Structure 1
Amino acid sequence: MMLQDRVAMVTGAGAGLGRCHALALAGQGARVLVNDVDAQQAAAVAAEIRAAGGSALPAAASVTDAAAVQAMVEQALAAWGRIDILVNNAGILRDKTFAKMSIDEFRQVLDVHLMGSVICTKAVWDPMRERQYGRVVMTTSSSGLYGNFGQANYGAAKMALVGLMQTLAIEGDKYGIRVNCLAPTAATQMTGGVLPPEALQRLAPELVSPGLVALVGPDAPTRAILCTGGGHFASAHVTLTRGVRIDGGDDAAQRVAGAWEAIDDRRDELVPAYGFTQVERELR
């Protein structure tokens, strides 16, 4: 099996996508630490894995609680000696138009999605570096990549995770740590009020998890953004156009506006290997 004897920690795994991810990882031979804020749900999924012949432990904690997350990691290390895989799946929704959204509602979503992923990744980073092996997946979204009405907080958090992934993939490369993003579409409790019923029927969360397994396997890519739902898989990229040299001058703003079509021309665009690519192009 692809993940025989690997150790995985999946956050928000008490239901929905997280549960499907945990079951899929266990089905490929991984030992799974099942995290959820709901202790009963975490225990139920861990029991489900064990009943199927797998190895799993429940861990009830909020991903925003750094001490509790560290205790989870210590639990996995004590039981299995290492952590090979982290799936940052935990999340919440507080959907409203930006005009009606409170700052607290904005911050709550960033705390769980972004800071929760930061806290969990930070807790496993040193153990992965020491073993020279790791697989980390951030859960991003088309809401972050492309925008969705009423999801300014969610979209901001999800796009921030792409930036986090880009840098951690670079920093983790020499330690054998591969970091990727998964952008899922699935019928879960979180999406129940967002998508129409006919769409939800076609978007079983089980259809997403094969993509997750591919992102944490021995031959996993790194710095990938995998978009998947309903059994369809595609990759997204942050690109840079060739651009136009305008230089300075009193009329520079007018020349930028006048050259917009050429600036935005996507022919021969590239996917930069690192952020400094922009500077290198600008200084040619």
Structure 2
Amino acid sequence: MTEIPKSSSQELPDGQKATGWDSLADYDNGDSDYTHHSPFGEVPAINGNDLLDSGVFFGDAIALTQKYTSTSSETPEEKQVLLNLGDVYVLVGKDSDPNKLKAAWARAMRGHYDQQITFTEDITDTVESYPLVTTTLDNIPKEILEAEAAEDEAKRRAGDEEIQQADAIINREKDYRKLKDKVWDVKLTFGEGDEKYTTNVYGDKQKQPEEIPFDSASEAKISMQRTYAILWAKLMQKHLNEGEGEKVADVAEESLNEMGIALSEKHENLFVTDICYELDAIYNWEHRAELKDWYNERLCEDIEPLPKEAR
């Protein structure tokens, strides 16, 4: 699903290389302050929200988890991982069906779940609970699922923000592919002077290379940031091509909204900051200066930048 080449490893600050499961386990693992969880206390718990925040699709997060789940362990617990995506923990096994897991995860994301997992902090004994998905929807009566779906639809009609946010996360891959197809032929210009070139980035729709699974969490994050940076640029360019006299400042936020991204009125959106950087420093997009000016001005209007320590 990416438009940039993938490497087999990523450089860490100390010069070491992180590949595979180690990079996922160590990648901003928000559960490091906890000493135990229940149930499945013997199963490692991994915080995958950083992947989700970087635009990584559910299926790719599961595939990455399964790729580095131990197959040589003697106990079933060591062949499983509890993966937190969207503050819903999913019990992932080496042979779990990603599509069935996604359906069960989506149900819990919309507020329908039968189990919870509890984490206890070692120092303060603070207890936090989260929805837990351990089985597929196969054993849930059809009548219950239909009633839940009707409840969800009623919330959508009422404009419920929580169900809208859940839908946006759940449908991210489908929405991305739909938007990508919409702007496939839109061309972007990169570089300066003699090195300037114009391309649609995606190539020939009929001759697409096979999608290669990610090797590490850090690779997945960087790749998806660049994937969404290109999509954002193409959406903006489409508006610029179709509108008379429109500027980047006129279409930037509208294009973000099309991608399901809404800028907060209280805090800086680090994902948007990252993809702005990609279009500027990495891709050298022709409208990068206008985009930077718009975003800096937008930040100054009513968004409070995150504290330095939170960055």
TM-score category, normalised to shorter length: under 0.3
- Please, what TM-score do these two structures have when normalized by structure 2? 0.25
| Higher RCO (C-alpha 8 Å, min separation 6) | 2
